[in-house]
């Protein structure tokens, strides 16, 4: 089971880290996968997605990482300690990525089994622009909805690490309360994106679609600005049975 999850995670990470896709360079980006109810694999600090192998991941405890999220008084020293005590394997010398808390916040939800965090070029072009929130508030075309859902979560810039993980957690809670479904992507201003899914295929598809639509949007802003689909048309595509079927075949 662990070996199978790890193998899938390695393949997903190399896909997302492929230099030809420009989703991450050098040590940018990180990925994770659920092992069981309380543990998950996350990229070890200092590894590179494009050529990562099984030894580029560490197993961590979900419970030990999520405890600190509730502790408002936790500081930098507590973060270092939590990352260390969360390591599952005795004698593990590598350290989990500093964004491990972000992965813990997502993987505590059973619907998500794989998470990919990247800094794709066009997506970050928009996320680092004056139009960041506007660009990710709408849907451009039916395939955008089929792959990424009817809406994504937008997160204004906050300090990476624990503070960011708390912000993502509360914005996902609000999204679920308002929309009645889980989001498939989180767009983080001046930072990058998160893609969440039940399979590596879903995570790669969401990231691919986010980057393609971002490229389209960069173009659309140069010709008068994007014309997003009307809310009722977005809703229609999101709930149509044939589109639900297409959605399923894309992600599994
Ligand atoms: Zn990042």
Ligand 1 centre and the CA of 131: distance in Å?
Answer: 20
Predicted local distance difference test score (pLDDT) of residue 74? 83
Predicted local distance difference test score (pLDDT) of residue 244? 67
Ligand 1 centre and the CA of 175: distance in Å?
Answer: 22
Residues of the chain with pLDDT under 50: none
Ligand 1 centre and the CA of 24: distance in Å?
Answer: 9
Planar angle of CA 128, 129, 130, nearest 5 degrees: 135
33: left (phi over 0), alpha (psi -120 to 50) or beta: beta
Ligand 1 centre and the CA of 223: distance in Å?
Answer: 30
Predicted local distance difference test score (pLDDT) of residue 200? 97
3-state SS assignment for residue 235: helix
Ligand 1 centre and the CA of 117: distance in Å?
Answer: 6
Ligand 1 centre and the CA of 210: distance in Å?
Answer: 16
Ligand 1 centre and the CA of 119: distance in Å?
Answer: 6
Q: Which two tokens stand for residue 16?
A: 């997302």
Which structural domain range is residue 125 located in? 2-251
Ligand 1 centre and the CA of 61: distance in Å?
Answer: 21
Ligand 1 centre and the CA of 92: distance in Å?
Answer: 24
Domain containing 226 — which CATH number? 3.40.225.10
Ligand 1 centre and the CA of 48: distance in Å?
Answer: 13
DSSP-assigned states of every residue in 165-227: HHHHHHHHHHHHHHHSS--SEEEETTTEEEEEESSHHHHHHHHHHHHHHHHHHHHHHHTT---
pTM of the model: 0.94
Ligand 1 centre and the CA of 236: distance in Å?
Answer: 34
Predicted local distance difference test score (pLDDT) of residue 169? 95
Ligand 1 centre and the CA of 111: distance in Å?
Answer: 22
Ligand 1 centre and the CA of 29: distance in Å?
Answer: 5
End-to-end Cα separation, the chain, in angstroms:
18
Predicted local distance difference test score (pLDDT) of residue 245? 66
Ligand 1 centre and the CA of 230: distance in Å?
Answer: 32
Alpha carbon distance 25, 127 (integer Å) = 17
By the CB criterion, residues less than 5 angstroms from ion ligand 1 are 192
The number of domains in the chain is: 1
Alpha carbon distance 79, 182 (integer Å) = 27
Ligand 1 centre and the CA of 113: distance in Å?
Answer: 19
Ligand 1 centre and the CA of 25: distance in Å?
Answer: 11
Ligand 1 centre and the CA of 156: distance in Å?
Answer: 14
């Amino acid at each position: 089971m662990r070996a199978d999850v790890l193998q899938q995670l390695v393949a997903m990470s190399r896909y997302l880290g492929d230099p030809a896709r420009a989703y991450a360079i050098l040590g940018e980006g990180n990925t994770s996968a659920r092992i069981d109810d309380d543990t998950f694999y996350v990229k070890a600090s200092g590894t590179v997605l494009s050529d990562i192998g099984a030894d580029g991941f560490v197993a961590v405890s979900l419970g030990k990482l999520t405890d600190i999220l509730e502790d408002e008084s936790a500081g930098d020293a507590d973060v270092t300690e939590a990352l260390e005590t969360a390591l599952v394997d005795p004698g593990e010398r590598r350290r989990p990525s500093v964004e491990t808390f972000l992965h813990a916040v997502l993987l505590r939800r059973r619907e998500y089994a794989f998470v990919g965090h990247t800094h794709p070029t066009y997506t970050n072009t928009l996320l680092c622009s004056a139009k960041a929130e506007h660009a990710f508030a709408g849907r451009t075309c039916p395939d955008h909805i089929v792959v990424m859902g009817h809406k994504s979560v937008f997160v204004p810039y906050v300090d990476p690490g624990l503070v960011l993980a708390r912000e993502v957690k509360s914005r996902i809670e609000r999204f679920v309360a308002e929309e009645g479904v889980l989001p498939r992507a989180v767009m983080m201003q001046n930072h990058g994106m998160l893609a969440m899914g039940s399979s590596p295929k879903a995570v790669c598809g969401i990231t691919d679609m986010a980057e393609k639509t971002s490229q389209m949007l960069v173009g659309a802003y140069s010709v008068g600005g994007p014309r997003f689909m009307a809310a009722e048309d977005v809703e229609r595509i999101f709930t149509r049975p044939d589109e639900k079927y297409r959605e399923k075949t894309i992600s599994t």
